[in-house]
Structure 1
Amino acid sequence: MTTTTIGLLHPGAMGVTLGNSAVSAGHPVLWAGDQRSEASHDRAQSAGLTDVHTVEALVSQSDIIFSICPPHAAVTVAESVAQAGFKGIFVDANAVSTDTTATIQSIIESKNATFVDGGIIGPPAVQQDTTRLYVSGPAAGQIEEIFEETLMQGLAISEHIGDASALKMAYAAYTKGHSALLLLSRALAKANGIEKHLLNEWALSQPHLASLCEREGRTAAKKAWRFNGEMREIANTMEHSALPGDIHEGAAKIYDRLVSFQHSAEAPSVADTLEQLVKNTD
């Protein structure tokens, strides 16, 4: 096996499991820990990542760099890597539109580096067969090879840049869009004073919805600060595909109302989530 030095920007809950999968396959994984939180340092250390402190050091020592960050930061991260003179393979594995992907590709290739489009589907990779990194582009096969027999499954789907991002957008359009719609339905009932009647009807006709809403009220609200940008990236992809993006622009506004839960010590209850949705106005 050829050992590849990997740089990871940045080891959040998802990224750190990608890094750990690469480490488990025998590849050294670097990250830049300067000015990062104590939680980031703890995650990186537990995953076996090596702290080289700065982005500049990471760029100079890495063969492949993975960018995993909130959608709104994806272009800025790519610019920082390009400006540092990276010449290897840059994998953008963020939840961004095909249009944003093309922008990042242009940034990376302008410095004679190689770009690979990526999209992660599934939870953080801590169990087998739950999480897939889809990649596309001429160098996608090299990325797939890194993750052979690891918890993060790599799947090269084509040589066309944009295919992996389009797949991620299509998948999340339903999953995270559905979560927003479910919470909005219950918020509408609450705003009109008939929430208990909606819950009674759900119990009769769709008994799974109440528990699903409880779960989404906790998990989606805590991640709303990322999901709002992702919804706008989906809307952009829809519009560039000659499809209506209004639904996901609306979903972004729902998540906008919940961004205050980002720094909550615990996930909010569905009651807190609904209260936040109802009390806000555009």
Structure 2
Amino acid sequence: MDQPTVGILHPGSMGAAVAACAAANATAVLWSTAGRSPDSRARAKRFGLEPVSTLHELLDRCDVVISLCPPAAAEDLAREVAAHSYAGLYVEANAINAERAVQIASLLGPEATVVDGGVVGSPPVKGKTPALYLSGRVAATERVAALFAGTAVRTKVLGTDIGMASALKLSYASFQKTSRVLVALAIGLAREHGVDQELVHIASLRTDSYLSETEYVAKTAARAWRWGPELEEAADMLAAVGLPPEMLRAAASTLARWHDAKDDGELTLTEALDRLAHS
């Protein structure tokens, strides 16, 4: 199979790193500079992505397009692509619920081939090896899997139904992200009563307790702007199947208190807990 030309839409920290992995099995990996921030430009340059001036040029040149953006922007981005009558392979890899994944596939119409994707893990840098779960037509998922063969992005095909990969991603996120929010609340409560070190000590006696990993509180705060919308998506999925969504909605509401900590890699545990208590 000939190596495709790949486009990455909105190359954030995850998208740019994933796209860079795809470059190993692609002719080129493109991104559109239109309307993008200096940070995005610097990130794309660091990962060796090839700039083009417009989305139209990107879609015209690319056989495969990967959408990795904040959940709230997923459908608007798909509409922009659909408006150009894109007829290639579209990898919908955002943290959205299964119903929205199906809607996006419908929105792109019969011209495009849509693969549903869900990334579990950290961006593929510094030895990290996230998994990209896929669902959709067999030939299409095989093509995406081939794109990442031999790279730090591991792929696994779940089935042929659009929505399966999104459902797995959000099922995992509903535990993994909410548990980190509970850690912040537990440590914050203990700190207010002067027993936070004892709490961490108790938790450290268990090898499987997030409570002993206090460094994740500040990391959670810095990622809250992304994690909150993901949990809202997961809550929608719970409600759709008759399961109670309140736990995840409450966690999303808690994460909203850290809205001004976006991507703050210098945030300390004390600063994160102070913001949580006083926002």
Instruction: Report the TM-score, using the length of structure 1 for normalisation.
Output: 0.91
SS of 1:36's partner is coil
Structure 2 residue aligned with 1:259? 259
Percent pairwise identity: 31
Distance in structure 2 (CA, Å) of the matches to 1:40 and 1:219:
21
8 Å contact from structure 2 (residues 179, 210) kept in 1: no
Which structure 2 residues correspond to residues 91-110 of structure 1 after superposition, within 5 A?
91-109=91-109
**Which amino acid is 1:93 matched to?**
A
**RMSD over equivalenced CA pairs, Å:** 1.8
Structure 1 residue aligned with 2:267? 268
Distance in structure 1 (CA, Å) of the matches to 2:74 and 2:120:
17
Distance in structure 2 (CA, Å) of the matches to 1:147 and 1:27:
13
In the superposition, relative to structure 1, how do residues 141 and 127 fare at CA in structure 2: closer, same or farther (>3 Å)? farther
Distance in structure 2 (CA, Å) of the matches to 1:178 and 1:93:
23
SS of 1:256's partner is helix
8 Å contact from structure 2 (residues 190, 199) kept in 1: no
Which stretch of structure 1 is more off in the superposition, 33-42 or 169-178?
Answer: 33-42
Q: CA deviation at 1:222?
A: 0.7
Structure 2 residue aligned with 1:76? 76
**Which amino acid is 1:121 matched to?**
V
8 Å contact from structure 2 (residues 188, 273) kept in 1: yes
SS of 1:258's partner is helix
Which stretch of structure 1 is more off in the superposition, 100-109 or 62-71?
Answer: 100-109
Q: CA deviation at 1:46?
A: 2.5
Structure 2 residue aligned with 1:158? 159
Distance in structure 1 (CA, Å) of the matches to 2:277 and 2:127:
39
Between Structure 1 and Structure 2, how many residues are aligned?
274
Q: Tell me, which stretches of 5 or more residues in structure 2 are unaligned?
A: none
Q: CA deviation at 1:102?
A: 1.8
In the superposition, relative to structure 1, how do residues 204 and 157 fare at CA in structure 2: closer, same or farther (>3 Å)? closer
Distance in structure 2 (CA, Å) of the matches to 1:166 and 1:4:
28
8 Å contact from structure 2 (residues 200, 212) kept in 1: no
**2:134 pairs with 1:135:** yes
8 Å contact from structure 1 (residues 129, 153) kept in 2: no
Q: CA deviation at 1:128?
A: 5.4
Q: CA deviation at 1:127?
A: 5.0
Distance in structure 2 (CA, Å) of the matches to 1:181 and 1:4:
44
**Which amino acid is 1:50 matched to?**
E
Distance in structure 1 (CA, Å) of the matches to 2:14 and 2:195:
39
**Which contiguous aligned blocks of 4+ residues in structure 1 show a shift greater than 6 angstroms?**
none
Structure 2 residue aligned with 1:200? 198
